[in-house]
Amino acid sequence: MAARYDVIIRGARVIDGSGAPAFEADVATKGDRVEAVGAPEGDADFEIDAQGLALAPGFIDVHTHDDFAAVLHPDMGFKLEGGVTTCVVGNCGMGAAPHREASLLARAFHPNQTLPEWDGYAGYLDRLNLHPASVNIAALVGHGTIRLAGMGGNAKREPSSAELQSMKDLLGEGLHAGAVGLSTGLIYEPGRYAQTDEIVELAAEMRDARAVYATHMRDEGAHLVDSVAEAIEIGERAGVPVQISHHKASGRANWGKVADSLALIEKARDRGVDVSADQYPYTAGSTILSAILRNDGLRAGEGGIGSLSGDDVVIASTASHPEWEGRSIADFAEEWGLEAQEAGDRVLAQEPLASVVIHSMSEDDVLRVMAHETTMIGSDGIPTLEGRPHPRLYGSFARVLGHYARDAGVFPLEQAVHRMTGMSATKFGLADRGFVREGHFADLVVFDPNTIADVGTYEDPHHAPRGIHQVFVNGAHAVGDGVHTGARSGRPLRRSTPRAPSPID
Ligand code: ZN
Ligand code: CU
């Protein structure tokens, strides 16, 4: 008897997430799984003709700050309509629990909203189970968040052994609930006060689980290479895999340094250290203004962010001065007759939650990092839907597939897809995801490789990409003909049991 499926997608070029060459096949799903890849016999309740289109695993956004967004905006259209089916939240040291500290640190992302409550990572992930978002959520524990909880707000020192133990307990709660790793944000409050040893002690708690240490490093400018060395040292001493967040060289004076940081990563990998990185495909970054100023980023000479000028820094979102959005710090400096750093301070005094877009990278560096086999894609999108968030929130994956793979020829489409699916799932231990394979979860995206493109700009960011036709999340049809169906079939993803070290293929 011929099988009956829920969905058959017919005639697409299947890019299966492994990096292997695309092949033509029909793909059938039943329930939340892919049941057949090839020529499934039988029919389905719903068939899609995908002739001329590509079928890939749903994209995994390994670098997000969607911890609260997944709860506040569960439709998650800004990710889903761009083909993303899984977000790794909790990056840059800012996690979802403990809730009090988490909501303090997330305030800049959601300035005028009341943040719902939960109890620990268990409570956070359970909540996502009860009130699902449209995408799957895997969580990192945030070092900044647990440091704030364990040591209080103003601890510019090493933790006492009792404080360190309370941080370990909070990390343990997260890991036990299924968190996939620990992140640091070593330019931010309060993570910047942590010395290497403190992080090694915490990361070592993850050794048996082989959960990931992900890091926004201490300095992505003048001291980029030292910072990569520190990240690798932490991974080696703690015995855990390392993920370098948003790998880049920031500030004109530092352009080209990614050649050295990539070489250092290669050397560590040759010694058997599992170290990789993620990248968003733009020459501008984005963060909170306070982080730049606190690191003297606009001070002439050297700053931790890497010698920026006032022209490079543009207000993205504010809580109370929407008329400032889109203006550069140079603009304010001129109006007020101040140096850039002082003008930035004055903006901050009136608007402590301002976030900014920073034009700080060279295209050559972006290309060099992207082409490197250790780089996967993560948007680092700031989910502040008011204001003008960096367009990476919407467009990162389409931009890699369209602009960089198809138009610039950085790598074949299969390799581009691998860097946002199979490679990512393997690194973060997301079981049965990231590949189009029989028995895997039916997280799928159908897109047109000839037209796929990011659409949002810095001036006008709120646009879904072009060329993404269908998206399935756990078998449910979440985007149909480019439009969100309203499905909220995402799940909390809990770290699977210890896995073998992940070679990059
Ligand atoms: Zn970061
Ligand atoms: Cu980040």
- Note whether 203 and 308 are same-domain residues: no
CATH number, domain containing residue 79: 3.20.20.140
Q: Which pLDDT does position 503 carry in this prediction?
A: 46
- Note whether 257 and 329 are same-domain residues: no
Nearest to 147 by CA among 194, 186, 104: 194
Q: Which ligand is nearest to the CA of 382?
A: 2
Ligand 2: centre distance to CA 416 (Å): 21
Position 85 pLDDT exceeds 70: yes
For residues 305 and 298, give the distance between their C-alpha atoms in angstroms, rounded to a whole number: 8
Position 269 pLDDT exceeds 70: yes
Residues 6 or more apart in contact with residue 246 via CB below 8 angstroms: 63, 216, 220, 278, 279, 280, 285, 378, 380
Report residue 20 as tokens. Answer: 């292997």
Ligand 2: centre distance to CA 29 (Å): 34
- Note whether 104 and 217 are same-domain residues: yes
User: How do 242-244 and 275-279 pair as beta strands?
Assistant: parallel
Ligand 2: centre distance to CA 159 (Å): 24
CATH number, domain containing residue 333: 3.30.1490.130
Q: Which ligand is nearest to the CA of 378?
A: 2
User: How do 84-89 and 59-61 pair as beta strands?
Assistant: parallel
Ligand 2: centre distance to CA 46 (Å): 39
Domain contains 500: no
Domain contains 458: no
- Note whether 144 and 225 are same-domain residues: yes
CATH number, domain containing residue 479: 2.30.40.10
Q: What is the secondary structure of 283-336 as a DSSP string?
A: SEEEEEHHHHHHTTTTSSS--TT----GGGEEEEE-SS-GGGTT-BHHHHHHHH
Domain contains 242: yes
Ligand 1: centre distance to CA 60 (Å): 17
Domain contains 502: no
Comparing 156-160, 246-250, 316-320, 438-442, the range with the smallest average pLDDT is 316-320
pLDDT band at 154 (very low <50, low <70, confident <90, very high): confident
- Note whether 128 and 99 are same-domain residues: yes
Contact status, residue 299 vs residue 306, Cβ threshold 8 Å: no
Q: Which ligand is nearest to the CA of 184?
A: 1
Ligand 1: centre distance to CA 277 (Å): 12
Q: Which ligand is nearest to the CA of 66?
A: 2
> In which domain, by residue range, is 41 found?
3-57+437-451+463-486
Report residue 44 as tokens. Answer: 């389905």
What are the pLDDT digits (tens) for 89-139? 999 999 999 999 999 999 989 988 888 899 999 999 999 999 999 999 999
How many structural domains is the chain composed of?
3
- Note whether 126 and 250 are same-domain residues: yes
Beta bridge partners of 279: 377
Domain contains 124: yes
Residues 6 or more apart in contact with residue 335 via CB below 8 angstroms: none
Ligand 1: centre distance to CA 139 (Å): 15
Beta bridge partners of 445: 56, 471
Ligand 1: centre distance to CA 133 (Å): 23
- Note whether 42 and 71 are same-domain residues: no
For residues 105 and 378, give the distance between their C-alpha atoms in angstroms, rounded to a whole number: 21
Domain contains 495: no
Domain contains 457: no
Contact status, residue 479 vs residue 398, Cβ threshold 8 Å: no
Ligand 1: centre distance to CA 343 (Å): 24
What are the pLDDT digits (tens) for 280-314? 999 999 999 999 998 888 887 654 455 788 999 99
